[in-house]
Amino acid sequence: MHFILACLLLSASFPSLSANNDLPSLGDASSGLISIEQEHTLGRTWLRNLRSQASTLHYAELTEYTENLIYRLASNSQVSDRRLEIIILDNKQLNAFAVPGGIIGINAGLFLHAKNESQFAAVLAHELAHLSQRHFARQIDESRKQTPIALATLLGSIMLLATNNTEAGFAGLMTSQAAATQWSLNYSRDWEREADRLGMHTLVNAEIDPHGMPDMFRQMYEAHKYSERPPEFLLTHPVTENRISDAAGRVDAMKPTKSQEDIEYQLMRTYTLLQYKKQSHNLAHYQSQLKKATQEQDIQVINYALALLLAHQKKYDEALSHIETLLAINAQRISYQTLYTRVLFYTGKQEEAINNVKELLSLNPDNHPLTMTYVGLLMETEQYHDAADVLQSHSRVRPNDPYIWQQLSEAQGKADNKIALHRARAEFLFLTGQSKKALQQLKTALDLSKGNFLLSARIEQRAREISNAKDDLTF
């Protein structure tokens, strides 16, 4: 799996440890292992490298849902360092991965393959278990018995795998050295079983049905058992009949109480289906489904899909009628309110739409979908200074979100705030693995700020921080 590859990545970079049968204290002066803080730095460096090569999704509602679910799972897991960073890749292939330092990545394709929230959450709980058990550090401990691994080759291979270039990624991995020896594979299987077991407990603690884990395994196995080229997730997370039966047996032994799933997962899955399966999930499909729907949840999901599709076709009055149906069922759901606000705006009721989202934000301060909806409307009405102010404030809530900085740089540019433009652009470039370009932006900002000693000092300090940030994965 991608986590195991990341675990192998730095094994050549650390000294051997004296032989003993117990895992030493991780990261202390005597063990020689990577510390939690080093893992944290490593993860952010790896993430910046990934962002420089992979496209990501920025639909605020999708981001909010995914982050909320992962933090819900993490708070019910054994993960001790919860400084997590979550990235959603614009990729329809089934994949998810965990990288040391709290990086959780998923492809949008996970929404396509997981039919319900419990299946989706099962994959995330599994990845969190790898983080909680620090399999990265444990791999370093065991690697003292093995041939060192070529660091540069493995780094390139991991990036290729994460960006969906499977053939080249595995080719690089296999030519680096004997990383796929039986020893390595055995440990991978052991850790997969451990992650399955702990992931199930996380699901139960989070009041999510653990049946999602064997159900997801079974679905993936049946869908791809005859495939010549299975998806990346199955190449790195082998699913066998034994693993499925083992997972099912564990769930039965736990005797969990089934809980009602939030409809939000189905709404976000519907959004993803509309992006990647446009031919089959079109207006005619959902109009036909609506005529047959009898369950309230199905009716909501279908109306949400129809509203999105009609809004995309600029049929705003028709879209509004479907959204009003949704609000009549649940007027408090943020994903309904943001869609309503955007559609209302384009029906010509701009002031009403802006006032609506402002009122919602007063009740839900810093909410990401509401904030980005508000910013979008401000930009549409050329209120660039206000948009920049809102984004500047939001950047303090989400300082590691490159999309926020990208939007802020655009707003500052249109507001003719040149120094702020270059500073925001620098943050975007740094977070997307372009440190040299980021420093060039800060140099321009510094030149423009001559005479303002306090501002110049802040820019110089940020330039030093970016200059000192690691760009590679060695310690």
pLDDT (tens digit per residue) in 24-68: 333 333 334 567 888 888 889 989 999 998 999 999 999 999 999
Residue 285 counted as domain residue: yes
- DSSP class of residue 256 equals P
Q: Are residues 377 and 318 in the same domain?
A: yes
- Res 456: pLDDT: 97
Q: Are residues 287 and 226 in the same domain?
A: no
Q: Are residues 219 and 270 in the same domain?
A: no
Q: Are residues 284 and 331 in the same domain?
A: yes
The structure's pTM equals 0.86
Residue 473 counted as domain residue: no
Residue 259 counted as domain residue: no
- DSSP class of residue 216 equals H
Last residue of a domain, one of 219, 254, 289: 254
210 backbone dihedrals φ, ψ, rounded to 5°: -70, -10
Last residue of a domain, one of 254, 283, 313: 254
Q: Are residues 353 and 376 in the same domain?
A: yes
3-state class (DSSP) for residue 27: coil
Q: Are residues 225 and 96 in the same domain?
A: yes
Q: Residue 59 to residues 63, 84, 315: CA-CA distances in angstroms?
A: 6, 19, 21
Other Cβ atoms within 10 Å of 326 Cβ, number: 23
Last residue of a domain, one of 194, 226, 254: 254
Q: What angle do CA 267, 273, 274 make, to 5 degrees?
A: 95
Q: Are residues 137 and 273 in the same domain?
A: no
Q: Residue 253 to residues 17, 211, 358: CA-CA distances in angstroms?
A: 39, 11, 49
Q: Are residues 105 and 220 in the same domain?
A: yes
Could you tell me the CATH number of the domain that includes residue 381?
1.25.40.10
Q: How far apart are CA 433 and CA 10, in angstroms?
A: 20
Q: Are residues 159 and 287 in the same domain?
A: no
Please enumerate in sequence order all residues whose Cβ is within 8 A of that of 336, keeping only pairs 6 or more positions apart, or say none. Answer: 304, 323, 326, 327, 330
Burial class (CB in 10 A: 0-12, 13-18, 19+), 422: buried
Q: Are residues 209 and 239 in the same domain?
A: yes
Burial class (CB in 10 A: 0-12, 13-18, 19+), 223: middle
- Res 159: pLDDT: 56
Count: domains in the chain: 2
Residue 102 counted as domain residue: yes
Tally: H helices and E strands in the chain: 24, 3
Full pLDDT tens readout for the chain, 475 residues: 444 334 433 333 333 333 333 333 333 333 345 678 888 888 899 899 999 989 999 999 999 999 999 999 999 999 888 899 999 999 998 888 888 889 999 999 999 999 999 999 999 999 999 887 765 656 555 555 554 443 334 445 555 656 665 445 444 444 443 443 333 444 467 778 888 899 999 999 999 999 999 999 898 888 777 776 667 676 667 787 888 888 888 888 887 777 788 899 999 999 999 999 999 999 999 999 999 999 999 999 999 999 999 999 999 999 999 999 999 999 999 999 999 999 999 999 999 999 999 999 999 999 999 999 999 999 999 999 999 999 999 999 999 999 999 999 999 999 999 999 999 999 999 999 999 999 999 999 999 999 999 999 999 999 999 999 977 666 5
Please enumerate in sequence order all residues whose Cβ is within 8 A of that of 90, keeping only pairs 6 or more positions apart, or say none. Answer: 54, 55, 56, 57, 108
Residue 215 counted as domain residue: yes
Q: How far apart are CA 157 and CA 176, in angstroms?
A: 9
Residue 104 counted as domain residue: yes
Q: Are residues 103 and 18 in the same domain?
A: yes
Q: Are residues 249 and 268 in the same domain?
A: no
Q: Which helix (H) or strand (E) holds 104?
A: strand 103-107
Residue 474 counted as domain residue: no
- Res 475: pLDDT: 52
Residue 93 counted as domain residue: yes
Domain that residue 367 falls in: 264-468
